[in-house]
Amino acid sequence: MSNLDFFKNEAKKFLTDWQTQTQTVESDGIIIYHYDWKFYDVDDLFYFFEWDDKDRQEIKLSRAQHIIAKIAGYKNWNELIIRSDVELELAELLLRRFNNSDAIMDWAQAVEYTGIGQYGVEAVLDYAKQYYELGDSKDIVYLPLEQLTILSGKQRLNEINKFDDEHNPAGSLRKSSYVFCPHCQKAYNFNQSKVIKKNGTNLTMVVCKNFPDCRGTYLDNKVLTPTIIYGDARIPELEKGIAAFPHLSMNKKIECLHCGDKYLYNEAKVVIDPDDGEAWIHCKNYPECSGNPMDFMDAE
């Protein structure tokens, strides 16, 4: 099923739930709506998006498509269906979980806490996959302390090491990151995070350095240090560099005047500034070398 077919099918599901509508009229004339819903909590979502009586009574597919687009985070259906493949993949992932307003608000709060949106849609998609694939793991932080073990030594390091270039290539968070926890309002080096495990299970979670006084998790962390982008996410930014500096090309061998190293331009680092979310191209050897395209000379 294509992304578009998925959204069309979800609109039909919403319409099916909507068509179960029954009404009772109070003595003061206020209409109370009831729904025997299966897929979407129609009444809850209509309240959330502030639809009035006229909206609720206009039961048709085009209006169901409109509300599905809004649940997915867009103004209307036409705006949804023109999104990129990555944006539609994210919208589908979220819509599969957004059957009520609590789910929408939970995700909005997570995005606000972390500031992940500044790193672009691919980073948000990667974060969403982690957030929802963790399932019950992310909730063990709220358990009583007697049900948890704070891991140490190799067990702890194995969990922290999952945030390296090999295991978390598309993520914005690295074990070398300097982060801010919005729960306790403290900043610290991410590799100082604690790791907890629910007793009698394999469920683990990387939590705030200040656990148990703080019950924040790595999902809440806002990265304060520049983030190096890896994989295919680098390509569009490297291509922008070529547009700005015509002497460059992806497979051109260059020399960085700062460190003197010679390498192909497509090996350069792409770094996201945490303050404004802007992407910057740096020398392959960043952060040891701060060279940028103005310092890249022809090495052939």
Q: Would residue 232 count as lying in a domain? A: yes
**CA 287 from centre of chain:** 25
Looking at the structure, tell me whether residues 221 and 232 fall in a common domain.
no
Higher per-residue pLDDT: 123 or 98: 98
How confident is the model over 28-83, as pLDDT tens digits? 888 999 999 999 999 999 999 999 989 999 999 999 999 999 999 999 999 999 99
Rounded Cα gap, residues 63 and 52, in angstroms: 13
Residue type, position 280, single letter: W
- Which of 54, 74, 99 is the last residue in one of the domains? 99
Domain membership of residue 112 (yes or no) is: no
109 in any annotated domain: no
- Token pair, residue 22, equals 């029954």
Q: pLDDT tier at 274 (50, 70, 90 boundaries)?
A: confident
**Domain final position from 177, 196, 225:** 225
In whole angstroms, give the CA distance from residue 300 to residue 247. 12
**Which of 177, 120, 255, 171 has the alpha carbon at shortest distance from 268?**
255
Q: Are 9 and 95 within one domain?
A: yes
242-256, pLDDT tens digit by residue? Answer: 998 988 999 999 999
Does 251 lie in the same domain as 215? no
The pLDDT of residue 2 is: 62
Cα distance between residue 78 and residue 80, in whole Å: 5
pLDDT of amino acid 170:
65
Q: Are residues 145 and 95 both part of a single domain? A: no
Report whether pLDDT(97) > 60: yes
CA angle 235, 239, 240 (to 5 degrees): 120
**What local confidence, expressed as pLDDT, does residue 200 receive?**
93
Q: What pLDDT is stored for residue 215 in this prediction?
A: 92
Q: Establish whether the linkage from the previous residue to 212 is cis, with ω within 30° of 0.
A: yes
Q: Is 107 helix (H, G, I), strand (E, B) or coil?
A: helix
More confident residue, 288 or 36: 36
Question: Both 152 and 221 in a single domain?
Answer: yes
Domain that holds residue 234: 228-298
Same domain, 182 and 265: no
Q: What are the start-end ranges of the H helices in 209-261?
A: 235-244
If pLDDT is split at 50, 70 and 90, which confidence band does 4 have? Answer: confident
What token pair was written down for 97? Answer: 């979980």
pTM, full prediction? 0.68
Measured between alpha carbons, how far is 238 from 271 in angstroms, rounded to an integer? 11
**Quick check: is 123 in a domain?**
no
Q: 217 and 233: one domain?
A: no
Total number of domains constituting the chain: 3
**Which of left, alpha, beta for 50 (phi over 0: left; psi -120 to 50: alpha)?**
left
Do residues 140 and 207 both lie within one domain? yes
Mean pLDDT, the chain, whole residue set: 90
Where among 194, 225, 256 does a domain terminate?
225
Residue 279 lies inside a defined structural domain of this protein? yes
| Per-residue confidence (pLDDT) for residue 119, from 0 to 100 | 78
**237 in the same domain as 216:** no
Residue 113 belongs to a domain: no
Together in a domain, 196 and 146: yes
Q: Looking at residue 23, what is its pLDDT? A: 93
Instruction: Tell whether 150 and 211 lie within a shared domain.
Output: yes
Q: Give yes or no: residues 149 and 192 share one domain.
A: yes
CA angle 259, 263, 266 (to 5 degrees): 115
Residue 248 falls within a domain, yes or no?
yes
Domain-embedded: residue 110: no
